[in-house]
Every structure is written in structure tokens, then in C-alpha cells.
């Protein structure tokens, strides 16, 4: 062992910086850590250093790298295995980082990798943890223990292994008091695990942990002076030398577990000594290979007596797996070379060749990225232009800054401005007959409600939020009912005014100003009640619509309750139809009562707009749905404004001579 450590001293001189707390991967595709050219190159990843522990040098995995080199050198000198073919190698240091992997290849004893469909390129020379996990349950049952605790590493190795153990334990009638896990970087979780063990009543502990985690747990159990535990271990730590300390016996004494079988690799000790000797001294142990400037190594030099200390090198339990892996690849290549053109292979195996590099790759579809195979991005993500990364989908809604939004805002504010000018004009002419006709209060209330109708369209523009979604639909429903109620009141006033001109009629006393105001209030309160009920049961809410476009998300307001929205629209429609019918029946009144005709036209436009709105609303994709709804609000509002008030404004401004009690009366 001392000779092997001498080799490590030379290695440390080359990589002195590796003892820092941070480790950078040693070797890149052009300059690997250890390499040799050959006809066929075998690549390897070994965590020679660690990014998480100090000292960072990993003796066991450096030995594995040396065993790989030894196996390759052994095969290169063989006359029966791969004759006339030289094998090279490229060995990289992963720094024990899981981010460093090989394309389509992984390494682990995890049972999850036994799925040949998901991992067709994975082969192993170590048994799956599936068997070890089940064996742990069987050994517990064998000794008659029925109340146990379980601790595992919070990674694939520990999680999958523990899951299989728990499943088997349940079938075997073993009760698990607790099952906890932690990682080496989580000291707080480790303390919680120790507290759980300390407070628990189970004395048999299953420790499905890596060597590092078990060391951390052992240190804490020693500090807590935990005794009387029967620990059941796994191959990762049960034979580790680091577990044998002066303080560990009262915790781990009598532990049971499973270990990988030892296998000696004949000739490896001599290979290690030869490599060290020829590196440390300018000499060679083989006379035939010496050059003029090289000396033959002195057989009597002192360090040679340390050979006996290195005899335990091949007894590393995992080392033989690397050795077998290299020979497995070599035998596969040997069999492949025995395949002859047009004759096939000796075993008649069907080989599906695959090029090392794919030059005619089929590009991934939209929404997929290439990270081994084409992989679909999650729901709210989409592939970028290079299709190598999933990025958040663009979120689209009708905003104030886009052209469509600006145009709709303009017409909305234009409607507010026109309505305000009409209100100012009517206020200035409030004492004239045409304004005073059929209750000027209803006219001003109607103008106010039209301003609210124009303004409520603005709530449909901008990013939907919880409050804006509730506001836009309720404001729309209430303001339009207020507007239609005023129009309905004016229609009734026209009919009542005609009836009152008949001899002996006093019908106007039944629908005077007080009754008109009350009717508008009652109609509006009914709509307010419907909206409150809707918002209480199932209010509108922001919704990410992914149905229309795959590459982007439409942020819109979901109705919440379709019945609630239908009730709001249905009530507006009911009032509009009622108003239209009454105005239509009053169209035959004498000419001086022709305001009913203008109300008829306005309600005809109103009904036509909202009838066409329904199919347009349902069929319009994305933010066009919102634009259609705003258009319907603006169109119906402008229809009411111009049909009812334009004729009066025309008389006031262009035909003032007709704005008299004698000529105007209730005519307009």
C-alpha cells in the first residue's frame, strides 16, 4: 500500500490545486486527465476528486482508473483477445458531480435503470439494488424483528432502494416506525434524522446510505451517545474502513449487511509498482525496452521490499467490476470483428448499426428540445429557436399599448366625450321644450349611464387580474341595465303622454316622475342582485388559455359560472326586447310623438349587435374574444346615443325655431 501511496505523491504534484474546496473537472474532450491512443478508444468517468469533501482526493476511484488502464494493457498484450487491435482510453475526472454524464449512458446500481425501454444503452457489472433491498427485508424477518426504523440518502440510490425495501417489508409483515432521509449538504435534516432516531422506540435501524452520509450520521450518533442500536447496512458502507474507529463500536457493534464479493485481480500489484518505479526513477524494469539513456532498475533498491504492503490493493470490492467492464467491452468488440460481410456473425445475431455521429438528424418538433431524444416541454414552456432549452411561453392579452387596444380606447373615450358634450348642451338648454319633454331627468340619467357604458369597456383592456375580471362583467351588466331601464322609462312616458291626450284620461298620474325613477331603480337593483349572486357562487377569474395557440398563452378572464353570465346577458336582453316591443307598438302614434320611432331604431341596433355578438364571441380565438365584446359594448352604446339624442341635438343647434312649445311639443 505504501508503494501505491508513493504514486499518489507524484499525482499530487501535478494537481496540487485539487485540494481546494472547489474542484474543476480535470480533462476536456481534447485533453483528458489520462489518455492513450488506440484503434478503439474506451472512455471513462471517475470521481478522482470531490467538490464537496476535504481532502478532495478519492483514493478508491483513482485505483479504479488504474485498474482500467491495467485491464486495457493486459488486453493489448493478449494474442487471443482482439489480436492486431489496440485499445486506447480517455479517462476524465467528474469531481463527483452528477452534472457530468455520458450521452445515453449512466452508471448506478439503481433498480430504475433496469428498464430496457427507457435505458437501452445501460449495462452493468454490479447487481441491481432491487435484490439487496429485498434481502434487507428478508434478513430482518429471519431474525424476527418486526419494529424497525429506516434512514436513506436523499438521491436515486437511497430513494429507489428504500422504496423497494418498504414495499417488501410491508408484504413480509414488518412494521416501519419511521422512514427519513437526508443529503450530506443538509445538516439541519441530519439533525432532524438523529432526533427522530433518538425519540423513536425502534432499535433496529435500516441505513440505506452512501459512505459519506453514513459517516455523517455515525458522527452525530456518537455525539448523542446513542447505544443499543442494531444497524442493518448496505454494500456502500458496511465494509468501509472509515466506519472502524475507536468510538464507533458502541453504535455499529454487531451491525449486519451485505457486501460485494471480493475478487483479486492477478498481476495488478506488480503493474502498480512497475508504473510507480518507471515514473519515479529514470530506469526501466524491462531490459529489452531500455534505451541508451535509460538504466536498468536496481533489483535491490529499498522500496521494492514494500511490495508486500501492496498485496491488498486488488481486494477492493468494486475494483473487479471495472476490470470486468473493460473485458466485457473487449469481448463484444472481438465478437463484432468476427462478423463477415455477406456471411453475418457466428451467433446469427441481428446487429442494428448506429453511427457515432448523426449528420442527418431529424429536427425536433415545435415545443420539443433535444437533450438526448426529443423531449416535450412542460405545459407553460416552449422550445427556444435553437430547440435546446425550454423557455416560458409568451403571455398574450389585449393591452393598452398595442394598436387594437389603442383604437378601442380611442373610440371609448370619444364616446365619453361626445356623450359629455350632449349632456352639456342639454343642460344649457334645459329650459327649452325639447329637453323638458318626457322627463328631462331620464334624459340626463340616460346620458350618465351611456358614459358609464363607454367607460366600462376600458376594464376589458389590460392584464386580467382577479379584481378586474369581476369588475368588467359586473360593471358591464349593471350599466347596461341602467341604460336600458332609462330607455324603457322614456318609451313608457311617450305611450302614457299619448294616452293622456285622450278625452277624460288621467293616466299620467300613474306614471309620473316618481314612478319613473322607482322603475329605473327596481330594474337596476334586480341586475345588481344577479351580479352579487354570481360573484358569491362562482366569480370570474384570470385563466391561462392554452387551447388556441401552442407557442403562447392567452391570459383571459374565465366566466366562472356560465349560468351567472347567461343570467346577466339574459336580463339585459329581456329588458331590451320589452323596450323594443313597446317602442314598436308606439311607432304608429301621431307625428308629434315620433320619439318612439327613434327608440325603436336604437333598440333594433342594440338587439342586432348583441345577437351577432354571441356567435362572434364563441368563435373568436384568444384576445379577439375580448375585442369583440368591447366592440359590441361600443356599437350598442353609440347606437343608443345617436338614435335617441342626435335628432334632438340637430333641432337645438340647427333648427332652433322648431324648439318651441307650439312647434316642438313632444315631437322630438
Condensed to tens digits (0 to 9), the pLDDT of residues 74-89 reads 999 998 999 889 999 9
Q: Is the pLDDT of residue 438 over 70?
A: no
User: So what's the pLDDT on residue 58?
Assistant: 72
Q: Is the pLDDT of residue 99 over 70?
A: no
User: So what's the pLDDT on residue 5?
Assistant: 36
Q: What is the mean pLDDT of residues 486-493?
A: 79
Q: Is the pLDDT of residue 397 over 60?
A: yes
Answer whether 487's CB lies under 8 Å from 640's CB. yes
Phi and psi at residue 542, to the nearest 5°:
-65, 140
What is the band of 205 on the pLDDT scale with cuts at 50, 70, 90? very high
What is the band of 191 on the pLDDT scale with cuts at 50, 70, 90? very high
What is the band of 10 on the pLDDT scale with cuts at 50, 70, 90? very low
Number of Cβ within 10 Å of residue 220's Cβ equals 18
In angstroms, the first-to-last Cα distance of the chain is 114
User: So what's the pLDDT on residue 163?
Assistant: 93
Count of alpha carbons within 13 angstroms of residue 28, beta-carbon side: 2
Top-ranked range on mean pLDDT: pick from 366-375, 507-516, 539-548, 616-625:
539-548
Q: Is the pLDDT of residue 362 over 60?
A: yes
User: So what's the pLDDT on residue 212?
Assistant: 84
Cell numbers found for residue 233: 447496512
Q: Is the pLDDT of residue 351 over 60?
A: no
Percent of the chain with pLDDT over 90: 21
Q: Is the pLDDT of residue 234 over 90?
A: yes
Q: Is the pLDDT of residue 665 over 60?
A: no
Q: Is the pLDDT of residue 104 over 50?
A: no
Place of cell 503493474: 271
Top-ranked range on mean pLDDT: pick from 54-58, 303-307, 560-564:
560-564
- CATH classification (class only), 2-123+269-329: alpha beta
Q: What is the mean pLDDT of residues 555-568?
A: 86
Phi and psi at residue 371, to the nearest 5°:
-130, 65
SS3 content of the chain, % helix, strand, coil (to 5): 55, 15, 35
Long-range contacts at 291-296 (CB < 8 A, ≥ 24 apart): none
Distance CA 594, CA 501 (A): 15
DSSP character for 148? E
Arithmetic mean of pLDDT over the chain: 77
Q: What is the mean pLDDT of residues 336-354?
A: 63
For the question of whether the overall pTM of this predicted structure is more than 0.85, the answer is: no
Domains 2-123+269-329 and 403-658 share a fold: no
Report the side by side order of strands in the sheet with 175-182.
Answer: 175-182, 147-153, 204-208, 230-233, 256-257
150-164, 297-311, 482-496: lowest mean pLDDT where? Answer: 297-311
Answer whether 113's CB lies under 8 Å from 119's CB. yes
More confident residue, 574 or 378: 574
Distance CA 205, CA 229 (A): 7
Q: What is the mean pLDDT of residues 383-390?
A: 80
More confident residue, 308 or 431: 431
Helix (H, G, I), strand (E, B) or coil at 336: helix
User: So what's the pLDDT on residue 616?
Assistant: 77
More confident residue, 63 or 164: 164
204-208, 273-277, 321-325, 421-425: lowest mean pLDDT where? Answer: 273-277
Helix (H, G, I), strand (E, B) or coil at 375: strand
Residues 6+ apart with CB under 8 A from 367: 376, 377, 382, 383, 550, 551
User: So what's the pLDDT on residue 297?
Assistant: 58
User: So what's the pLDDT on residue 166?
Assistant: 95
Domain coordinates in residue numbering, the chain:
2-123+269-329, 129-257, 367-395, 403-658
According to CATH, the topology of domain 129-257 is Rossmann fold (3.40.50)
Q: What is the mean pLDDT of residues 125-134?
A: 83
CA dihedral 167, 169, 170, 173 (to 10 degrees): 160
122-136, 300-314, 492-506, 626-640: lowest mean pLDDT where? Answer: 300-314
Answer whether 601's CB lies under 8 Å from 444's CB. no
pLDDT digits (tens, 9 = 90+) for 27-68: 454 446 788 899 999 988 887 777 665 556 677 778 888 889
Distance CA 88, CA 611 (A): 79
What is the band of 134 on the pLDDT scale with cuts at 50, 70, 90? very high
CATH 1.10.3720.10 fits 403-658, yes or no: no
Amino acid at each position: 500500500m505504501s508503494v501505491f501511496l508513493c504514486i499518489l505523491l507524484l499525482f499530487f504534484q501535478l494537481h496540487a490545486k485539487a485540494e481546494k474546496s472547489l474542484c474543476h473537472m480535470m480533462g476536456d474532450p481534447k485533453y483528458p486527465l489520462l489518455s492513450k491512443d488506440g484503434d478503439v478508444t474506451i472512455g471513462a468517468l471517475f470521481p478522482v476528486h470531490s467538490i464537496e469533501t476535504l481532502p478532495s482526493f478519492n483514493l478508491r476511484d483513482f485505483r479504479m482508473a488504474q485498474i482500467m488502464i491495467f485491464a486495457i494493457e493486459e488486453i493489448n498484450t493478449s494474442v487471443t483477445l482482439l489480436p492486431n487491435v489496440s485499445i486506447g482510453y480517455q479517462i476524465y475526472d467528474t469531481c463527483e458531480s452528477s452534472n457530468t454524464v455520458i450521452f445515453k449512458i449512466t452508471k448506478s446500481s439503481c433498480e430504475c435503470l433496469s428498464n430496457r425501454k427507457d435505458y437501452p444503452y445501460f449495462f452493468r457489472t454490479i447487481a441491481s439494488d432491487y435484490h439487496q433491498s429485498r434481502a434487507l427485508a428478508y434478513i430482518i424477518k429471519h431474525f424476527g424483528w418486526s419494529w424497525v426504523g429506516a434512514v436513506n440518502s436523499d438521491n436515486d440510490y437511497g430513494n429507489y432502494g428504500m422504496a423497494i425495501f418498504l414495499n417488501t417489508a410491508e408484504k413480509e409483515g414488518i412494521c416501519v416506525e419511521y422512514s427519513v432521509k437526508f443529503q450530506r449538504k443538509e445538516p439541519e435534516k441530519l439533525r432532524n434524522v438523529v432526533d427522530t432516531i433518538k425519540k423513536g422506540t425502534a432499535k433496529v435501524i435500516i441505513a440505506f446510505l452512501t459512505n459519506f452520509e453514513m459517516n455523517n450520521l455515525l458522527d452525530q450518533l456518537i455525539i448523542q451517545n446513542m447505544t443499543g442500536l442494531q444497524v442493518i447496512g448496505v454494500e456502500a458502507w458496511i465494509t468501509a474502513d472509515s466506519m472502524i474507529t475507536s468510538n464507533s463500536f458502541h453504535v455499529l457493534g454487531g451491525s449486519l449487511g451485505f457486501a460485494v464479493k471480493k475478487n483479486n485481480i492477478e498481476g495488478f500489484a506488480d503493474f502498480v509498482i512497475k508504473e510507480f518505479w518507471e515514473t519515479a526513477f529514470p530506469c526501466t524494469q524491462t531490459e529489452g525496452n531500455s534505451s541508451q539513456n535509460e538504466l536498468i532498475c536496481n533489483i535491490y533498491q529499498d522500496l521494492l521490499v514494500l511490495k508486500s504492503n501492496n498485496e491488498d490493493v486488488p481486494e477492493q470490492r468494486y475494483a473487479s467490476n471495472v476490470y470486468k467492464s473493460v473485458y466485457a467491452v473487449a469481448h463484444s468488440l472481438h465478437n463484432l470483428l468476427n462478423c463477415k460481410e455477406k456471411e453475418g456473425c457466428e451467433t446469427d445475431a441481428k446487429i442494428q448499426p448506429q453511427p457515432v455521429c448523426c449528420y442527418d438528424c431529424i429536427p425536433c418538433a415545435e415545443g420539443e428540445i433535444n437533450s438526448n431524444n426529443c423531449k416535450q416541454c412542460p405545459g407553460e414552456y416552449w422550445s427556444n429557436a435553437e430547440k435546446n432549452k425550454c423557455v416560458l411561453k409568451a403571455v398574450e392579452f389585449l393591452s393598452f399599448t398595442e394598436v387594437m387596444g389603442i383604437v378601442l380606447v380611442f373610440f371609448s373615450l370619444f364616446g365619453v366625450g361626445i356623450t359629455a358634450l350632449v349632456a352639456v348642451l342639454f343642460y344649457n338648454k334645459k329650459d327649452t321644450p325639447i329637453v323638458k319633454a318626457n322627463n328631462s331627468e331620464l334624459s340626463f340619467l340616460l346620458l350618465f349611464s351611456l358614459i358609464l357604458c363607454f367607460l366600462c369597456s376600458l376594464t376589458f383592456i389590460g392584464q386580467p387580474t382577479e379584481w378586474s375580471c369581476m369588475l368588467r362583467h359586473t360593471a358591464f351588466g349593471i350599466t347596461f341595465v341602467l341604460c336600458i331601464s332609462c330607455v324603457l322609462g322614456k318609451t313608457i312616458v311617450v305611450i302614457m303622454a299619448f294616452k293622456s291626450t285622450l278625452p277624460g284620461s288621467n293616466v299620467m298620474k300613474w306614471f309620473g316622475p316618481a314612478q319613473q325613477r322607482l322603475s329605473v331603480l327596481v330594474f337596476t337593483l334586480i341586475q345588481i342582485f344577479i351580479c352579487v349572486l354570481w360573484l358569491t357562487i362562482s366569480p370570474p377569474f384570470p385563466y391561462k388559455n392554452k387551447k388556441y395557440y401552442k407557442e403562447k398563452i392567452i391570459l383571459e378572464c374565465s366566466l366562472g359560472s356560465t349560468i351567472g353570465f347567461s343570467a346577466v346577458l339574459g336580463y339585459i336582453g329581456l329588458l331590451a326586447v320589452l323596450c323594443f316591443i313597446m317602442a314598436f307598438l308606439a311607432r304608429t302614434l301621431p307625428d308629434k310623438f315620433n320619439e318612439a320611432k327613434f327608440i325603436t331604431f336604437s333598440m333594433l341596433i342594440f338587439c342586432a349587435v348583441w345577437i351577432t355578438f354571441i356567435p362572434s364571441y364563441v368563435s373568436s380565438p384568444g384576445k379577439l374574444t375580448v375585442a369583440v365584446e368591447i366592440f359590441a359594448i361600443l356599437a350598442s352604446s353609440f347606437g343608443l346615443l345617436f338614435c335617441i339624442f342626435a335628432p334632438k341635438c340637430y333641432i337645438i343647434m340647427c333648427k332652433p325655431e322648431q324648439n318651441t312649445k307650439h312647434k316642438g311639443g313632444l315631437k322630438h
